[in-house]
Amino acid sequence: MARTDIRQLEALTAGVGPATDKALEEGNGLLRLAPTWVPRSFLHPGYRLKLDPRDIHAFGLERGGIDERWFGSTTEAANEGRRADEGLSQVISGDQRFTLRDAVAERGEALIGERMWREYGRWPVYSKFFDNMGPIPLHMHQGPEYAAKVGCEGKPEGYYFPPQLNQQRNAFPYTFFGLSPDTRKEDLRQSLARWHDGDNRILNHSAAYRLEPGSGWLVGPGILHAPGSLCTYEPQWGSDVFGLYQNVVEGRTIGRDLLVKDVPTEHAEDLDYLIDQLDWEANVDPDFKANHYLEPVPVGDTAALGYQDRWVVYGRVAGRQWFSARELTVAPGRTCTIVDPGATSFIVVQGEGSANGQPLKSPTMIGFHELTHDEYFVSWEAARAGVTYTNSSSTEPLVLLRYFGPDADPDAPEVGAHRA
């Protein structure tokens, strides 16, 4: 009998290698993944993740509501009071489950390719949906130098706003990025010094951009940003470091502990250190939008063949391609075979069909413990051989988002390519 609830499955911690082999064989190179839900105590969920609204506080009221779903993750969520394996994707195989992290540890070359396994020894990226009713506080993610001081890695990230999840834009569809070009470091020092004196008004030094479904942004570490209320697909480096620089958001106060969450204890009161973490030149860039804004770029002209693949997150941060993402649309009743540059993880956002014979279906509503057929990890070997996608609907397109690891495709476009 098919299992529909993750609690019905045996959790493996030993024998994961043979179990991964079995799952890959049965899935024709694909690993089926269970939904991975993550709460944030300081945010207000946007109710567009298809999670049953009765389960929004399934982690407990004190943990906050669930406003994120993580994809293909081998990275633990850095939440205070987190559960074991929080943020880690679970592979589903028959009556068993095991973490994708353990599967990669046992079968690294087959799953992510020899180069990536040799360089990183892990799947170093993940993606997520984050979905909030209003804006996220102005914050940044530390770069490699400052993240290393607390035993972590830096974190660049990309955004894409899928139309299928943004029929309702919620309360504030604008994102503040960076700082006005005339901002001085002393201006930020004064804002941070006022943390306990009321609203520190740090947004006075930033600029907001209206968000449009079907577009995106590329954001490097050290760049201040306050994401708006569109549901966002976010490929990123496999790290959960951050610091919140805004202390009042929509009347909600933010504890200073979230400003210094990933700061060495000896620097927690050092305002110069907190400001030095920022990539100052990138923040005050007068051409910020031109250097960070993205629109989809087609991968060839294939509409007549019944499908269209498009780059939706692309470009380089500090000269490096850390991750990238594509959106595949297959027309009703059509089939295509896609050869990808490397291992990938995908989520179905619309329609139904199959991938290498494995069922695909975008659900209407998901219970906290329920299993789905909308998320898979595609092994390096399967990706390079080509995955065959079939749309079984006669009326609706099949649409899926998939992301790739670092340096996966040297031919991926650069920021600004949509204007060419």
> Which amino acid type is present at position 254?
I
The CATH number covering residue 78 comes to 2.60.120
Q: Which residue matches tokens 């470009």?
A: 315
Shared domain for 150 and 254, answered yes or no, is yes
Residue 178 lies in a domain: yes
Residue 27 lies in a domain: no
The CATH number covering residue 349 comes to 2.60.120.10
CA 391, chain centre distance (Å): 25
Shared domain for 138 and 222, answered yes or no, is yes
The predicted pLDDT at position 4 comes to 93
Quote the CA–CA distance of 358 and 337 in Å, as a whole number: 14
The predicted pLDDT at position 1 comes to 54
Shared domain for 284 and 400, answered yes or no, is no
Last residue of a domain, one of 294, 326, 355: 294
Shared domain for 145 and 237, answered yes or no, is yes
Residue 13 lies in a domain: no
Shared domain for 80 and 196, answered yes or no, is yes
Q: Locate 256 and state its tokens.
A: 């200073």
The predicted pLDDT at position 79 comes to 84
Shared domain for 132 and 151, answered yes or no, is yes
Shared domain for 286 and 155, answered yes or no, is yes
The predicted pLDDT at position 3 comes to 78
Shared domain for 356 and 378, answered yes or no, is yes
Report how many domains make up the chain: 2
261 DSSP assignment: T
Shared domain for 147 and 226, answered yes or no, is yes
Strands, E, within 155-221: which ranges? 157-160, 174-177, 207-210, 216-219
Quote the CA–CA distance of 234 and 126 in Å, as a whole number: 8
Q: Which domain holds residue 267?
A: 40-85+127-294
Rounded to two decimals, the pTM is 0.96
Residue 17 lies in a domain: no
Distances (CA, A) of 32 to 8, 13, 46, 163: 16, 18, 26, 24
Can you give the length of the chain in residues?
420
What DSSP element (H or E) covers 185? helix 185-193
The predicted pLDDT at position 2 comes to 72
Shared domain for 53 and 138, answered yes or no, is yes
Last residue of a domain, one of 265, 294, 323: 294
Q: Spell out the SS3 assignment of 13-29.
A: CCCHHHHHHHHHHHCCC
The predicted pLDDT at position 94 comes to 95
Last residue of a domain, one of 244, 265, 294: 294
Q: What are phi and psi of 221, to 5 degrees?
A: -65, 150
Residue 114 lies in a domain: no
Shared domain for 255 and 274, answered yes or no, is yes
Asked whether 148 and 155 are in contact (CB, 8 A), the reply is: no
Residue 15 lies in a domain: no
Which of 353, 350, 357, 327 is CA-nearest to residue 29? Answer: 357
Shared domain for 197 and 180, answered yes or no, is yes
The predicted pLDDT at position 80 comes to 84
Residues 6+ away with beta carbon under 8 Å from 159:
216, 217, 218, 219, 227, 232, 233, 234, 294, 313
Residue 201 lies in a domain: yes
pLDDT values of the chain reduced to their tens digit, one per residue, 420 residues: 577 999 999 999 999 999 999 999 999 999 999 999 999 988 899 999 999 999 999 999 999 999 999 999 999 998 888 888 999 999 999 999 999 999 999 999 999 999 999 999 999 999 999 999 999 999 999 999 999 999 999 999 999 999 999 999 999 999 999 999 999 999 999 999 999 999 999 999 999 999 999 999 999 999 999 999 999 999 999 998 999 999 999 999 999 999 999 999 999 999 999 999 999 999 999 999 999 999 999 999 999 999 999 999 999 999 999 999 999 999 999 999 999 999 999 999 999 999 999 999 999 999 999 999 999 999 999 999 999 999 999 999 999 999 999 999 999 999 999 998
Using DSSP, state whether 417 is helix, strand or coil: helix
Using DSSP, state whether 126 is helix, strand or coil: strand
Residue 176 lies in a domain: yes
